[in-house]
Structure 1
Amino acid sequence: MPADLAVIGLGHHGLPLAQAATAAGIDTVGYDTDPRPAAELAAGRSPADGPLTVPEVRRMLAGGFRPTHDPAELGRVRTAVLCPPTPLGPDRALDLTAVTDAARALAVRLRPHTTVVLESPVPPGTTEGLLRDVLETGSGLRAGRDFHLAYSPGRLDPGSRTHGYAGTPKVIGGLTPACTESAAAFYGRLTDKVVRARGPREAETVKLLETNFRHVNIALVNEMAVLCHELGVDLWDVIRCAETKPFGFQAFRPGPGVGGHGVPVDTVGAHRPLRLVELAGQVNERMPAYVVRRAAALLNEHGKSARGARILLLGITYKPDLPDRQGSPADEIARRLMDLGAAVSYHDPYVPDWRVRELPVPRADSLYEAAAHADLTVLLQHHRTYDLQGLSVKAQLLLDTRGATPAGAAHRL
């Protein structure tokens, strides 16, 4: 059955797009080179650590969304959006293997007049280089003449109740002006505002800038957190006051590390490295070790050793109120605490099972009881379900890495 849209890559980039398109009444199929996501979705389940809840998946299916592992479906769509993952490789450059695989699956079935858009984070030049070559070689068609080709950076805030798909402007850069307008016509059905970039390279670099902006600024406040602790300064009060400035400042807050799917890129191909981004990455990567040092110091101040201490970790996802653990610092923090000889347990309403070093970590069923029993409770993620005022009363010792507890109720990062 023909469809308006094929979303290729049913992960954290593709599923929110498929959800928005289905809700807008666009006939949508979802394809992944891995058969497992399509099978899970077809059964009404969200893929592991996926960005959607089970009720959201079921609403999509009821709205006509069709997950599939049959690549033949790709040859019967008007628009194809590629959303495969692009993780950092061993050389700290983005790994484009999944993008290449997705493009090859589409290329042999690509029809004239189709609009093809890439949304995955990629180095500038990928759309008009690697992607164009794979599509043209596999299809025998010419980009910009026989089919439209464009790039549009994904820029959603997972779990946000403020910034939904429709309210987030969509940046689009096409290979030709006609390619840009074709992609703009499609996204205009999903979002209130379309922003036209000069071309694909500019649109690709938008994603690079936005992601690195986040990581650099988080690194700055993480360094400030360490400094302010040494100086005896309340950083959270500093941020509260600083964000009243109506210009030239945007508030970021420190934490135990930086997770998520938007990885910082400090080197782009053979081009010069981004030194500031490289340094920011080093600062942020040190935060789990710093949290563990603070935890050990707190225990020591209260006459206890980390060895043999019962430590409860609260919230092990990378973002509040989501099951997604991509890049969460909780894993490294747990490993380091275990190396010190601590007995680690956890509580997270979104994560029923957690394994570290292939071993199950005990999950607390009763939060207050577990906090009262633990020598130290460490808040790593502030889920809305946590009553931090009540928790601060029950916990023997509480380290808040998110600055979420009432002032004076806990030791803050």
Structure 2
Amino acid sequence: MLGRDFALFFTEADRAAGLPGRELQHAVQEGRARTEGWRLRRDGSRFWAGVTITPVLADDGQLRGFAKVTRDLSVQRRLTALEVSSQRMSAFLAVLGHELRNPLAPIRNAASLLRRLPELPAPALHSAGIIERQLDHLVRLVDDLLDVGRIVTGKVVLQRRRLDWHEVVQASLEVARPLAQARQHDLTVDQPDEPLPVDGDLTRLVQALQNLLHNAVRYTAPGGRIALVVRRDADRLVTTVHDNGRGIAAADLERVFDLFVQAEATAGSADGGGLGIGLSLARTLVEGHGGSLVAASDGPGRGSCFTLRLPLAGGPQAGAATHRRTAPATPQRVLVIDDNHDSTDTMVELLRSLGHQALGAYGAAEALQQAAAFVPEVVLLDLHMPDGDGFSVIAELRRLPRPPRVFAMTGYGQQGDRRQTAAAGFDGHLTKPVAPAELEAALTPR
């Protein structure tokens, strides 16, 4: 560059637009010019540059030239772009989860209501069971999709505690058994009676094992066999899920764990093949607990086996898993507030079928009027309504002579949403569609 015009750093379009001269003029007028933009390397390739131009003055103040520093900011620019992209993805996933969960809420309420009707004809009862099972599948897909977003952006925090692996197995089977029964699978379980202590996040470990069982159900033909086996191996816990289903080609044994990827041998399964998320999510969650997850198969048509290994916890072992049955809820006066009429109406009917006195409101203003007259003991409150949000409504509810317990009932279920409702004074956070056990817990007097 010695002896040559610094305009050689600029693209042809910028030179034609007079940008080099304008930068020098700006430096003279302001005493220094700082800019960012595309510049050219010696080989003609472009890079994103940070440029500082400073006038060089003689003792008498006359302009003698310019000092110019050009820094390659390509890496910093890519990192900034990735950060912005991550923030946009998080926001997109939050809205996506909300929009998908909202219509699922009245479907779950209606299905639960159907199951409680007296003398329901057998075909209708069977249809209600199908709706509930497929709804669970949809909810799991939504949760998996959102969890992938959190994992990719590094926002999953494991809530570890000492637990017994039997808890994980039982919770996983509660979801997997109805799915297996619907396809006439022979699902067997073999596990030791002794406690199997693990330090982990119960919800995430259940999620991982459920995905393995669901994968086996999905890719095993009706009438097939699925075996869940749990055993100790020194200081490790080994859990295998074996099926006699479609199997996996040798070249795909690792690919099945890639995000949004499915092996060709398993494409076109009975339920459409899912999103290619479950196995990737399961491996990530298991590895987050210091474990491993691998797949094995003798090839297409010869079944598959997934082996999950976790470290057993040291020190005093957790006692055998205990499962307490929740006592029937005492009848409560419950106000349901949601601008989605179907969601409100079906929840009100479901609550009444459970023995509660329930009333619905479709907006913030109506809700406050109903609350003053109805004097609810519990309020299920949507967070986003056309005439006001749940945060303003709960503030008014707290001013009532007999303030009710208030639970957020929303399609937004990420950790940030839960922290926000907790900070606002909500007694709990129910993510749509609300699971029966969560609803029962919210309605239990304290």
Do the two structures share a fold, i.e. TM-score over 0.5? no
Classify the TM-score, shorter chain: under 0.3
Instruction: Return the TM-score normalized by structure 2.
Output: 0.21
Query: Which entry has the higher C-alpha Rg, 1 or 2?
Result: 2
Considering Cα pairs closer than 8 Å and 6+ residues apart, tell me whether 1 or 2 has the greater RCO: 2
Which structure has greater strand proportion?
A: 2
